[in-house]
Structures are given as structure tokens and as C-alpha cells.
Amino acid sequence: MKRILFAAFAAVLLSCSGRAAQPTATPADDKHEFRGAWLHIIGQRQYARQSTQENQAYLTGQLDQLKRAGCNAVIWQVRPQADAAYPSTLEPWSRWLTGTAGQAPDPVWDPLQFMIDECHRRGMELHAWINPYRVTSSPDEQPAPGHIYYAHPEWFVRYADGKLYFDPGLPESRDFINQVVHDIVTRYDVDAIHMDDYFYPYPKDGAEFPDTASYARYGRGWGSKGDWRRHNVDLLIEQLHHTIKQAKPWVQLGISPFGIWRNKSSDADGSDTNGLQCYDALYADCPRWTALGWVDYMVPQLYWELEHKLASDLTLSYWWNDHANGRHMYYGQSVNNVMTHRDIAAAGGDTLNPTQLDHKMRLMRSLEHVHGVTWWPGYSVTANFHGVLDSLATHHCATPALIPPRVWLDNEAPAPVNTLTVQKAGKGQVALSWTPLATTDPMQQAVRFVVYRFANGEEVNLDRADRIVAITGENTITLPQPKGQHTWAVTAVDRSNNESNPTTARN
């Protein structure tokens, strides 16, 4: 079975027709691990202060440092508050790029396309991060002139925090957000659409969300307003899933929910925690979305220390592992929290370790249904906060890793590369080049390449993660040449991270 669309998977679940189950995510191994980082633009004033050239240099520097830290995916914020970090006819330019909402950069450039190109060149995925409902980020802020708000003010509500939001209960709101996502997916070669925890807003002083009118219009027959609100978010996720897969079946939909689904005191299936619940406060029933096949990966925000009294990272790590539902699970970790808390003996840690980085990495890698990690924020990694970049680069992520295959989308490997050549490049370097096999099937297109180096006479074994020397999006590379003869192997990787057989050459 070559490719599998989520619509079929959902139909199987809902109809109980007895058809064969879809492939599910396989456990991570030493060679396959998602290593992501969030790069947000909201609240980041450096972009507005910098010229286009300075912004581009700054971002390439960020990507180079993340690559050094072992990252193979970047989650780049492109729509923080119903605006755009790219040229759009639907929404205005983001003020976090230029300092003024609706004002284009001068000279004009396309940050999203730039990040796609730079990530792919480095063999990294680019996930376009959007916030679905938020329109303003402070009470005194107004949408830019020309914003859809002025054409359809009836789609929006102002909450007790003073901010504007799309009303999730309106089909028109969902349709417009869906239109924005369709625009991104069809115009750009993104690897995923990513949404974080901002669904219904975080509760403000117990104030009721102002959706009385839409509830009166569309909430008939629902037992509670909470159930109706969760249904509204479900409808958005399902609609986005279908839109994305119909446009480009390989593009993922990923969600990063608040770290607690429900506490055990509220639900027998909840976690042994005592904090805010995304099911009840944000009306996001996230495990349901992977169970129905609407979402490809989940990144729960496990931003607490291992021994936190109300929301133990240790407890939640086991809970989310048990609720992966056959899709990829990546744990969101706060760099600042990880690097400022000492390890603990109670959780099996070494009390002499001044941070919890090693313990959390070992814990994640020990869990069968966890496939990687995402760092919040990526800027703390690149700034080497408390030595995190050095630790990742030299120890935890010293060997490059492939993102685990998404076999429910496509489980057929691409064709091997052709004509691998190895030539001396001077000054102790060697130049490799190869030609990917042309194909008209986008699911089989080679989008990344893995370069292995084996000692002369050593078996070419792709399970040897320690023999990977580079992962790149280009078909040429120059690398250091150790003394002696070696066997080089290059494989092709498709859009779902299936890997081809190797093509080899010696020097």
C-alpha cells in the first residue's frame, strides 16, 4: 500500500466496516528522531528593527545554529494574529515584521519562501505555524486597514482580556481560516501546517467567552455549551485536514496543545495532575484528533520540571505516550525550564546533574510512542542558554537524525540516486555529487539526501546512525576527508521520510 489518505482512515473508524487497519507510527530508534524548534515572531521586535538583508542574515544564522544543535525541523510562525509573514491577498502584513500592521517590508521579500528555501537546503523541514482565532494581542490594538474584520465585524468577538478573536462558533470563521490555510498550502512547499494551544482563549478571571449569539444560532441540541465549543474546534480541525490532504496529501497537520488534556479528578482517563485542562478551558479535545486521523503529529507542551507538584513532566510524559493513537508524538520542552532545574533522585535522576536535559532526553527516548522533541523557544537554543546548544551538539544530538517516516501517508521508498561520484576537493576535503531519479509522482520525489561514510572494507549498513555524516537538500556536498580509503553511500528521502536503498562509491 503506497499512500493512505486520512479521509479513508476516518471512514474506517466511523463505519467500523472491518477493513484493514492503517499503518501506524513505528517506535523511534537511534537514527530516526524528530528534533524541532519553534521560532516565533510575535513579541520579537528585532525583525522590525532590521533591514531585509539583516533579517535574512539573522535567520540563516538561526538555522545554522539549530542545525548544529541537531534540529531537522523548524516551526516558523507565519500567522500570529490573523496577519501574514508572507505576501497575502487575504490578510495584512504582520506588524511583527515591519513595526506597522499592514505595511510591507522595504524592500519587499517573502520570509516564508526564504525560510522554506533555507530549511530545505539544509535538509530540514519547514512547518508553517499559524494561530487560528487570535486577531489582536493587546486591548488597545486594532486590526490593520483592509483586514477582513472591517468587512465582516460580525465574525469577531472581544473577550474580557480586551483582545479580538474570530468566533469559533461561526461557519464563516472556520471557512475563512480554512481559506488562509489553503492559500499557504497551495502556494508554498511547506512540510506541515502547525497550530499551537490558542483555540478558545485562556480563561480571564472566570469571564465567559462572548459567544451567546452564535450559541443561540448554532448550539441547538447540544447538552452543554462546552460540548458545543469542542465541536466547533473539531469542525475546524477536520475541515483543515480535508483541505490540506486534498491539495497536497504529503503535507502534515500538527498540533501543539497545552500539556494537560484532563486531570484524573475530572476524567478517569486523565493524567494524575491538577492544572488547567485544555479540554475544559480551551475546548480542545486533542487526542480525539489523532484517533480520527485528522492530525499527523502532536507536540504537547510539557514545559514543567519532572517533579512539578501540579503538572509533573514525568507523569505527563507517560500519559501522552499512552495516548499517541498511532501518530507521531513529539514532546515540547521549555529550554529555560529544562536548563534551570537540577535533576532529581526521585525520578531516577542524578542529583549531581545541574540540569534536567539528560534525564528528559533519556526519558523521551525510552518511551515507545514518542518520536522526538521540539524546543521552546528556538532562540534560547541558538543563544546557547546555560550551554544547551553545546550539550545538544556534542552529546545528545551529535549524530544527524532523520525524521521518522510517516507511513500512514506513504510507505513506499523512493528510487535510489544515480551516478554518485566522489572527488578530491583539496585541503583535506572530498566533493560528492549525485543525480536523483526524476519522477512525476510528488510522493516519490527525493527531497533530502543522507550521506554515510564507512571505513574501507566495512559493511554498508544503513542502521549505523553513527555513520551518517550529513543530511542535505542539495545533490552536491563537500565534506572533510579523513585519512585512508572509504566507502561513501548516499540515499534519497521522500516527502514522508521513507529512505531509498544506498548508492555507493569509493575513494
CA dihedral 80, 84, 89, 92 (to 10 degrees): 80
Say whether both 433 and 373 belong to one domain.
no
Long-range CB pairs of 264-270, under 8 A, 24+ apart, other chains included: 270/319
221 and 102 part of one domain: yes
Strand partners, 32: 402
Give 254's strand partners. Answer: 194, 297
End-to-end CA distance of the chain: 38
CATH number for the domain spanning 333: value is 3.20.20.80
Tell me how many domains the chain contains.
Answer: 2
Examine the domain organization and report whether 302 and 423 are in the same domain. Answer: no
272 within 8 A of 315, measured Cβ to Cβ: yes
Task: Give CA angle at 49 (45, 52), nearest 5°.
Answer: 115
Q: Are residues 339 and 438 in the same domain?
A: no
Indicate whether 79 and 224 sit together in one domain: yes
Are 294 and 173 in the same domain?
A: yes
| Cα 306-312-318 angle, rounded to 5 deg | 90
* Tally of CB atoms within 10 A around 106: 9
Query: For position 6, what pLDDT does the model report?
Result: 35
C-alpha cell at 251: 503535507
Please check whether residue 401 lies inside any domain of the structure. no
Q: Do residue 478 and residue 360 come from a single domain?
A: no
Q: How many residues does the chain have?
A: 507
Task: Assess contact for 38 and 333: CB atoms under 8 A.
Answer: no
Q: Are 378 and 462 contained in the same domain?
A: no
Q: Which residue has the cell 552536491?
A: 476
Report which DSSP code applies to 169: T
In this predicted structure, what is the pLDDT of residue 346? 53
DSSP string over 231-276: HHHHHHHHHHHHHHHHH-TT-EEEE--BS-S-BTTT-TTSBS--S-
- The total of other beta-carbon atoms located within 10 Å of residue 473's CB is 18
Q: What is the pTM of this model?
A: 0.94
The cell numbers describing 326, all together, are: 498511532
Tell me if the bond preceding 405 is cis, omega within 30° of 0.
no
CATH number for 462: 2.60.40.10
Residues 435 and 498 occupy one common structural domain: yes
CA 250 to chain centre: 14
pLDDT mean by block of 10 residues, the chain; 507 residues: 40 34 75 98 96 97 98 98 98 96 96 98 98 96 96 98 97 98 98 96 94 96 96 98 98 98 98 98 98 98 96 98 98 98 70 89 97 98 98 97 97 96 91 96 97 95 96 97 92 98 95
386 and 441 in a single domain? The answer is no
In angstroms and rounded to an integer, the radius of gyration of the C-alpha atoms of the chain is 23
Cβ neighbours of 314 (radius 10 Å): 22
According to DSSP, the residues that pair with 300 across neighbouring strands are: none
Range of the domain at 435: 418-506
* pLDDT given for residue 16 in this prediction: 34
Phi then psi for residue 58, to 5 deg, are -65, -45
Return the pLDDT at 350. 61
419 neighbors 432 (Cβ within 8 angstroms): no
Residues 400, 71: Cα–Cα separation, whole Å? 8
Residue 411 lies in a domain: no
> What is the torsion angle, in degrees rounded to the nearest 10, for the CA atoms of residue 27, residue 28, residue 31 and residue 35?
150
- The span from the CA of 274 to the CA of 267, in Å, is 12
Q: Which three cell numbers stand for residue 439?
A: 519522477
Check whether residue 133 and residue 244 sit in a common domain.
Answer: yes
pLDDT of residue 17: 32
